Amino acid sequence: MATPNPSGDREKVVSKLPGWLRRDLKVRAAQLGVDIQDAVSQGIAMWQTTSDVAPVDTAGGVAWSTWLPPGQWAELKETCTSRGMPLVQGLAQAISLWLNTHSAPAPTSYTRRIVVCNQKGGVGKTSLAAGLAGAYAEDPELEVLVAAEAVALQSADGAGLSSEATDLLTTDEAHAGLGLRVLLVDYDPQGHLTKQLGLDLIGIDDPSLAKHMAGTVRTGSIRDMIVTVEDSRFGGRLDILPACNDAFLLDVMIAMDRNRQATLERVLEPLEADYDVIIVDAPPSLGVGMDAGIYYARRRENETPGNSGVLIPVQPEDSSDDAFDLLRRQIESGQVDWRIEVDDLGLVVNLYDSRDGYVVTSSLEAWQQLKEPRVIGVVRRLKEQREAVRARQNLISYAPTSEQAKVIRRIAREIV
């Protein structure tokens, strides 16, 4: 399917691509500083003049879209017809050809660091962080249900995607659990994450994350504070660093540190060798504590683009839009001041319910129209998450077959 761009210089095309090929394209384009739509256009142009491209396994294709110069999509269709192959195969071959002719620099392996942030309260930041951690830690011996990409990106009434796109793949997929070692860091002084998972806050006089960041802990290790979530679904792979109420004073505690933006990294970096993923539930503020969270999410030397970064939950309402703008300014200011790159892992539109009316549905459409960061999931407002909080359990364990759990697993796989 092709839809003209109002400006006339590009047309939006929708097809299917295997998830692995889409991820390779996204990463390679970022590594080389090339826009994805330009990479695809270049690949199609090369493929048109090449006749010996190896077939590509397109099984498990998911809905995917990009923007191409007018007429290029039609030309691709014609060539596919003349070569006797499906359009999906031709597109996959073109992208593979571009990947094979554009080598990537050798990356350095780093633990994935995901900072879930938004200074606006009530956007579902904590539930998203906990859900992602559970999705990453699930037992690889389990078969789990993952929402199809099209389902993960639309509301219950299909808003935000065309009928052609949603028809491509709208059924759940069965996958093995990811089985990763995960550290979940409760960096929010309110401690909601710690409480949601059935743990106690650290005592106000005891060693804490904030005290370690401030350098006032003279004995013991940050490892002494880590607690394993006891749940057979996670098999000992999910740990949490609980919160302490002293984090309300964090900005004051680290304000005079010469490299205050690096204080969170100084504490967490020694733990990275023990984990595949570290997820930080950031504080709802724009203070120096958030600066430290942004700095921790930065792309390190030779790190694969998109391996780490910020994940931003938002709500489908106008005030969330204002809060997002403020957060983006803080991130952009930090990138300039510290000469770093912080990757956007995506937006998650949380607590969506189309029954709330036009403001909500139109806000969702506005979020989905953003190119960067793009929406990678829409989580509806359903009772299972509230019940999981009441039961003091991770949603992935409390309701593993719920719609929310399936969408969160899709989000996890979008950024893994």
pLDDT digits (tens, 9 = 90+) for 44-62: 999 999 988 899 998 878 7
**Residues 248 and 287: beta-carbon distance below 8 Å:** no
82 in the same domain as 128: no
- Kindly report the CATH number assigned to the domain that includes residue 193: 3.40.50.300
- Residue 400's alpha-carbon distances to 14, 42, 144, 231, in angstroms, are 31, 42, 8, 13
124 in the same domain as 17: no
109/348: higher pLDDT: 348
302 in the same domain as 393: yes
**Residues 43 and 98: beta-carbon distance below 8 Å:** yes
259 in the same domain as 221: yes
Is residue 197 a part of any domain in this protein?
Answer: yes
Q: What φ, ψ does residue 336 adopt, rounded to 5°? A: -70, -45
Under 8 Å CB-to-CB from 56, ≥6 apart: which residues? 18, 21, 89, 92, 93, 96
294 in the same domain as 267: yes
Last residue of a domain, one of 35, 67, 100: 100
Q: Radius of gyration over alpha carbons of the chain, in Å?
A: 22
The percentage of residues in the chain with a pLDDT greater than 90, rounded to a whole number, is 56
314 in the same domain as 222: yes
Is residue 107 a part of any domain in this protein?
Answer: no
**Residues 176 and 135: beta-carbon distance below 8 Å:** no
pLDDT value, residue 107: 65
126 in the same domain as 48: no
Residue 223 has pLDDT above 50, yes or no: yes
Considering Cα of 18, then 19, then 22, then 27, what sign does the dihedral take?
Answer: negative
Binned at pLDDT 50, 70 and 90, residue 291 comes out as very high
pLDDT value, residue 150: 63
* Residue span of the structural domain in which 281 resides: 112-415
What is the pLDDT averaged over residues 25-46?
90
pLDDT value, residue 39: 95
194 in the same domain as 80: no
152 in the same domain as 66: no
Pair type for strands 277-281 and 182-186: parallel
pLDDT value, residue 302: 85
Residue 168 has pLDDT above 50, yes or no: no
pLDDT value, residue 155: 52
Residue 337 has pLDDT above 50, yes or no: yes
- Kindly report the CATH number assigned to the domain that includes residue 20: 1.10.1220
Binned at pLDDT 50, 70 and 90, residue 106 comes out as low
Binned at pLDDT 50, 70 and 90, residue 339 comes out as very high
Domain count for the chain, please give it: 2
Last residue of a domain, one of 72, 100, 128: 100
Mean of the per-residue pLDDT values for the chain? 87
Under 8 Å CB-to-CB from 258, ≥6 apart: which residues? none
296/53: higher pLDDT: 296
* Helices and strands, number each (H, E), in the chain: 17, 13
Binned at pLDDT 50, 70 and 90, residue 176 comes out as very high
48 in the same domain as 76: yes
Residue 167 has pLDDT above 50, yes or no: no
222 in the same domain as 357: yes
Last residue of a domain, one of 37, 71, 100: 100
170/406: higher pLDDT: 406
Is residue 22 a part of any domain in this protein?
Answer: yes
Under 8 Å CB-to-CB from 86, ≥6 apart: which residues? 58, 80
pLDDT value, residue 371: 74
Binned at pLDDT 50, 70 and 90, residue 86 comes out as very high
pLDDT value, residue 9: 78
Is residue 106 a part of any domain in this protein?
Answer: no
pLDDT value, residue 23: 84
pLDDT value, residue 70: 92
Is residue 314 a part of any domain in this protein?
Answer: yes
Q: Closest Cα to residue 355, out of 163, 158, 170, 156?
A: 156
**Residues 328 and 370: beta-carbon distance below 8 Å:** no
Residue 8 has pLDDT above 70, yes or no: no
221 in the same domain as 166: yes
* Alpha-carbon span 370 to 347, nearest angstrom: 10
